[in-house]
Amino acid sequence: MESLLLVGTGRMARAYVQVLGAQKRQVLAVGRSEEGAQKFREETGIEATPGGIAAWRKKGVPAPTHAIVAIDDEEAPRAAEDLMEMGCRNILLEKPGSLTQSGLVDIQKTATKSNAYVFIGYNRRFLASTQKAKEIIAEDGGALSVYFEFNERLTQPERIASMQIPKRTVENWFIANSTHVVDLSLFLSDELETLTGFSASGPLWAPQSHPTLYAGAGTTKKGAIISYYANWEIDGPWLVEIGTAKRTLILNPLEKLAVEHSGAREEVSYDTTLDTTYRPGLYREVESFLDAQENLKTLDEQVGHFAWYEKMLGHRV
């Protein structure tokens, strides 16, 4: 019989609860602190065991068949390994799964030993706009060109403070957040074959080590040309443009899809109810994880993609 454990009681965990409730799923929850567990109970009506997975295991209950891990990036790998060691065989880790490739490899080794399935939660894959775009791209015979931007506004000190982001996550913000756009671009096109990337630290972050300026290009395994740009020093969008043999598909913002053909641009119509009612993409992502397990990013894929992430971060100028 299916059972689900939600690890975490923060903002993202509450977004999962809203979706799980709508899908009539029974859920158990664990949190780190008593204060966080109490606030979670008050806001969701769901009991949460404080003390993390270790405290939950002491209750002597059977291992869950499925688990969703929605906690800080630094704590997520250990939680995933603990879940597998206790017998859980299906795990959805909030992106990026780990801030380092070595952290993901450790999870991968445990998953192999445990015969477990681990997925990385990139919810933009499940936007209605993404699903429609993927359908059109397939009808047109695939992507010929890909362009994307992952501009960020984290350079604004007041924004960092308001989001209460852990310091190490801020220091790895490209991995922690910008890979949403990278993953979406590859999901709509194909796996990379080659990539050359350049990066630099702009004045707002200097002399910090994390780049804020990016540019690069490469090719996919099916021969499409791919290029990207980002400037975190100024305001800018997240966007993805896919060129096919028939048209250009434009996701800007990512939740909206337009197509351009012969100089004319028009919005594409599709049902956006789930993305406006719940956190965009999350309803379909959870549905896929608990049922079909389609379109989800696997742990193995994320481990492989880290090589491309490192290229995008490298070649400092």
125-270+299-313 belongs to CATH 3.40.50.300: no
CB 256 within 8 A of CB 272: no
As a whole number of angstroms, the longest Cα–Cα distance in the chain is 64
What is the residue type of 45? Answer: G
Rounded CA-CA distance 149/218 in Å is: 15
Rounded CA-CA distance 297/68 in Å is: 14
Q: What's the CA angle centered on 140, arms 138 and 119, to 5 degrees?
A: 20
Report domain 4-121's class.
alpha beta
Q: What is the pTM of this model?
A: 0.94
Domain boundaries, the chain: 4-121, 125-270+299-313
Residue listed under structure tokens 């540019």: 215
CB 249 within 8 A of CB 257: yes
Rounded CA-CA distance 273/113 in Å is: 40
125-270+299-313 matches 4-121 in CATH topology: no
pLDDT per position in the chain (317 positions), as tens?
A: 689 999 999 999 999 999 999 999 999 999 999 999 999 999 999 999 999 898 888 888 889 999 999 998 889 999 999 999 999 999 999 999 999 999 999 999 999 999 999 999 999 999 999 999 999 999 999 999 999 999 987 656 566 666 677 888 888 899 999 999 999 999 999 999 999 999 998 877 655 678 999 999 999 999 999 999 999 988 899 999 999 999 999 999 999 999 999 889 999 999 999 999 999 999 999 999 999 889 999 999 999 999 999 999 986 65
How many residues are given for the chain?
A: 317
- Residue 271, classified by CB atoms within 10 Å of its CB into exposed (0-12), middle (13-18) or buried (19+), is exposed
103 closest CA partner among 88, 93, 113? 93
Rounded CA-CA distance 9/33 in Å is: 9
